[in-house]
Amino acid sequence: MNTTTAPRIAVIGAGPGGLTCARILQRHGIAAAVYDRDAGPATRDQGGTLDLHADNGQIALREAGLLEEFFRLARPEGQEMRQLDPAGTILFHHVPEQGERFKPEIDRGRLRDLLLDSLQPGTVRWGHTLRAVSGPGEGPRRLHFADGTTIEADLVIGADGAWSKVRRAVSPATPRHTGVSFLEAWFHDITTRHPGIAELVGQGGAAAADGERGLFAQRNSGDHIRVYLIQRVPADWITAGGLSIQATDGIRALLLERYRDWSPSLRRLITDNDGPYVDRPIFALPAPHVWAHNPTVTLLGDAAHLMPPLGVGVNLALLDACELALAIARHDTVEEAVRAYEQTMLPRSAEMAQLLDGAADGLLSTELPDFATAGDG
């Protein structure tokens, strides 16, 4: 970027996409501040494990100078996948070849720490909950935070996820429930406390479905497994049933009734979890989601193209972040950079979103998925 005055760039959201964008910008000598609502990096659980693909997520990490460190932290054995029927019979089993690195797994928390540690000190401003973006379209923009503070920016990058506040500055679109919801269950110290479940899941993931219900169990690092119980239900199915998410026994009884015809080995993924469940209704933006070009605001990742969790989310977010940062580095003005980025990103995300529109139902399908391409990233 050859501007005489360096643009003030504000990235909203310290997830993988926002941090990757900031990292690549800094590698090109361009300053960026990242604002996040969390009080600090350890405020909340970062979620399960991700597979980063060689043709998108890994490209971004290479541009960030972090690919080899990623491979040191990743679990290539996590590419193992099993498909079972509700009786517990293995229908398909993919075991990765020695040295296979197309989509190794890494815990979300480890990926985030890798990115955070790569940034210049003070890049992330914690405890900044964005309330609104104001100011003229040509800039500068004003960011209004919940604590009453405001800042000015020449470019606002919305990397703030499904319920993005930055999105409102360019689009009226809001996520809608897909009709499918996950209920997450955790299993700790699985080698000693849950050896049967550890054997069932293996080193990667194990999935089963009967057309109406499904589950996906996935090994995480640190001897943990997360299980996602998948149902075709309204987003408020728990409260509609007179329960709260803290009512573990009541939810478990309801699940056992719904999965009553499944094998005892699979039903243990409902009965033996450690601690309460986590409710994760699946939302998606209308497909395709596009907006009129704005020279001072743009989006990446879920803020731009929230889709069902079918192996593309984080990978596309990282690729978005990479391409946006490189566009800023290679163009003379922010406006030119944003336009060049969106000319590539919007058609790509629109095509993928339309392909996956309504595909959340596929998580309940009894058909064997294509384990060569499917994943959870």
Ordered DSSP codes for 169-234: GT-----EEEEEEEEEEEE-SHHHH-HHHHHHHTTSEEEEE-SSEEEEEEEETTTEEEEEEEE---
Q: Which of 315, 313, 317, 327 is nearest to 9 (CA)?
A: 327
pLDDT digits over 70-116, tens only? 999 999 999 999 999 999 999 999 898 888 888 999 999 999 999 99
pLDDT digits over 245-274, tens only? 999 999 999 999 999 999 999 999 999 999
- Residue 294 has φ and ψ, to the nearest 5°, of -130, 130
pLDDT digits over 22-73, tens only? 999 999 999 999 999 999 887 777 778 889 999 999 999 999 999 999 999 9
- DSSP-derived letter for residue 77 is G
Q: Which two tokens stand for residue 335?
A: 């406006």
Cβ-based neighbours of 239, under 8 Å, separated by 6 or more: none
pLDDT band, residue 164 (cuts 50/70/90): very high
Residue 283 has pLDDT above 90, yes or no: yes
pLDDT digits over 292-337, tens only? 999 999 999 999 999 988 778 899 999 999 999 999 999 999 999 9
What pLDDT sits at residue 371? 40
% of the chain exceeding 90 in pLDDT: 82
Distance CA(230)–CA(111), nearest Å, equals 26
SS3 375: coil
SS3 60: helix
What pLDDT sits at residue 369? 53
Residue 5 has pLDDT above 90, yes or no: no
The reported pTM is: 0.92
HSE, CB side, 13 Å, CA atoms: give it for residue 279.
16
- Residue 158 has φ and ψ, to the nearest 5°, of -85, 100
Strand order in the sheet with 141-145: 130-134, 141-145, 150-153
What pLDDT sits at residue 1? 67
Q: Which of 311, 375, 318, 374 is nearest to 345 (CA)?
A: 318
What pLDDT sits at residue 309? 82
Q: Which of 8, 4, 32, 29 is nearest to 20 (CA)?
A: 32
Tell me the average pLDDT of the chain: 92
Distance CA(183)–CA(255), nearest Å, equals 10
> What is the sign, positive or negative, of the torsion defined by CA atoms of 25, 31, 35, 39?
positive
Q: Which of 106, 113, 102 is nearest to 23 (CA)?
A: 113
Distance CA(204)–CA(147), nearest Å, equals 42
pLDDT band, residue 376 (cuts 50/70/90): very low
Q: What is the largest CA-CA distance in the chain?
A: 68
What residues are paired with 177 via a beta bridge? 283
Angle (CA) 141 146 149, round 5°: 55
Omega within 30 of 0 (cis) for the link into 347: no
Q: Which domains does the chain have, with CATH numbers?
A: 9-79+100-174+285-362 (3.50.50.60), 178-281 (3.30.9.30)
pLDDT digits over 194-243, tens only? 999 999 999 999 999 999 999 999 999 999 999 999 999 999 999 999 99
What pLDDT sits at residue 99? 82
Q: Which two tokens stand for residue 93?
A: 């089993």
Distance CA(92)–CA(68), nearest Å, equals 31
